[in-house]
């Protein structure tokens, strides 16, 4: 089977707080892909969880508060794309809509439930997988798009993600409807700067357009990585360097 592309958007259109760890970190360990490749995306309790892509539900464990434990809590939803070549796992969710069941179809953006108020850091655990060769007999290979989800929090816009079906990592392309080209970060706005920093691995917190301590700290860390004066201000030479760093990773930037 050849490469394919799918429109993917963030599960939180608002209410995102911060990332709490991505694949292969903390408790996200093998052997199960849906644990190892988990992306813990923080949000206020009760925040709506949106479907990240068009899919059909393949497994569903409703939320039973009596069985909640420190590591396993909330509803569990497994789903696959219409072509059965990739899928996702969502958990730590409650208030799943009535009628949602195995075999149900969901569209990108549909509400799957709300973040369960549990523990000191409420979050959604989302894991993605590419199924090389297609389900049910294909090879399940976890996907790491954690930095992309940190960068796109708070937006309902879709990005076209290409899955190569050859074992290499997926490629994030242009947004909304699958036009080609690199994803563009608009560095003329602070929100765009925050998104660019996040996708490069410098955590500025939510992409909220606020020049707070976490954003300034991320800018200083980026400046240090490039040998620039560490003043926490993303202007001039720093902005140009950020655009260059994004280009090195295959992204495009404007407004620098």
Reported as a single tens digit per residue, the pLDDT across 151-189 is: 888 888 888 888 889 888 888 874 443 334 456 778 888
Average pLDDT over residues 80-88: 96
State how many domains the chain has.
2
Q: Do 147 and 197 reside in the same domain of the chain?
A: no
Distance linking the first and last C-alpha atoms of the chain: 40
Q: Do 154 and 238 reside in the same domain of the chain?
A: no
Say how far residue 190 (Cα) sits from the centre of its chain: 20
For 51-72, what is each residue's pLDDT tens digit?
999 999 999 999 999 999 999 9
Q: Which of 17, 16, 38 is nearest to 27 (CA)?
A: 38
Whole-angstrom Cα distance, residue 85 to residue 200? 27
Task: Give long-range contacts, CB 8 A cutoff, 24+ apart: 28-36.
Answer: 33/127, 33/129, 33/140, 33/141, 33/142, 34/78, 34/89, 34/127, 34/129, 35/127, 36/127, 36/142
Tokens 């404007």 correspond to 254
Range of the domain at 67: 4-175
- Higher-confidence residue of 86 and 119: namely 86
Q: Do 169 and 191 reside in the same domain of the chain?
A: no
Tokens of 218: 């991320």
- Higher-confidence residue of 227 and 173: namely 227
Return the CATH number at 19: 2.70.70.10
Q: Do 96 and 131 reside in the same domain of the chain?
A: yes
In the structure, what pLDDT confidence band is assigned to residue 200 with cuts at 50, 70 and 90?
Answer: confident
Say how far residue 107 (Cα) sits from the centre of its chain: 17
Which one of 110, 140, 175 terminates a domain?
Answer: 175
Q: Do 122 and 154 reside in the same domain of the chain?
A: yes
Q: Which of 101, 108, 60 is nearest to 81 (CA)?
A: 108
Q: pLDDT at position 188, please?
A: 82
| Length reported for the chain | 256
Q: Do 116 and 74 reside in the same domain of the chain?
A: yes
Q: Do 219 and 94 reside in the same domain of the chain?
A: no
Which one of 141, 156, 175 terminates a domain?
Answer: 175
Q: Do 197 and 78 reside in the same domain of the chain?
A: no
Whole-angstrom Cα distance, residue 140 to residue 133? 9
Q: Do 163 and 192 reside in the same domain of the chain?
A: no
Q: Do 43 and 99 reside in the same domain of the chain?
A: yes
Q: pLDDT at position 183, please?
A: 64
Task: Give long-range contacts, CB 8 A cutoff, 24+ apart: 18-26.
Answer: 18/42, 18/203, 18/205, 18/206, 19/146, 19/149, 19/150, 19/203, 20/121, 20/123, 22/144, 22/146, 22/147, 23/127, 23/142, 23/144, 23/146, 24/144
Q: Do 97 and 196 reside in the same domain of the chain?
A: no
């Amino acid at each position: 089977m050849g490469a394919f592309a799918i429109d993917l958007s963030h599960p939180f259109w608002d209410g995102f707080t911060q990332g709490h760890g991505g694949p292969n970190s903390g408790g996200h360990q093998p052997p199960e892909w849906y644990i190892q490749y988990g992306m813990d995306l923080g949000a206020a309790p009760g925040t709506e969880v949106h479907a990240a892509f068009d899919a059909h539900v393949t497994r569903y464990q409703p939320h039973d508060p009596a069985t909640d434990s420190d590591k396993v809590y909330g509803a569990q939803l497994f789903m696959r794309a219409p072509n059965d070549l990739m899928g996702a796992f969502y958990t730590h969710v409650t208030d799943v809509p009535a009628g949602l069941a195995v075999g149900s179809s969901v569209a990108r953006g549909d509400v799957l439930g709300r973040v369960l108020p549990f523990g000191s850091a409420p979050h959604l655990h989302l894991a993605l997988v590419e199924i090389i060769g297609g389900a049910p007999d294909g090879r399940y290979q976890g996907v790491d798009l954690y930095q992309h989800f940190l960068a796109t929090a708070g937006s309902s816009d879709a990005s076209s993600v290409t899955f190569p079906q050859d074992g290499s990592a997926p490629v994030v392309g242009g947004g909304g409807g699958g036009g080609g080209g690199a994803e563009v970060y608009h560095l003329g706005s602070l929100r765009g700067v925050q998104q660019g920093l996040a996708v490069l691995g410098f955590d500025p917190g939510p992409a909220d357009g606020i020049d707070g301590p976490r954003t300034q700290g991320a800018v200083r860390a980026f400046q240090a990585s490039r040998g620039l004066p560490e003043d926490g201000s993303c202007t001039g030479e720093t902005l140009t360097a950020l655009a260059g760093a994004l280009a090195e990773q295959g992204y495009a930037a404007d407004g620098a």
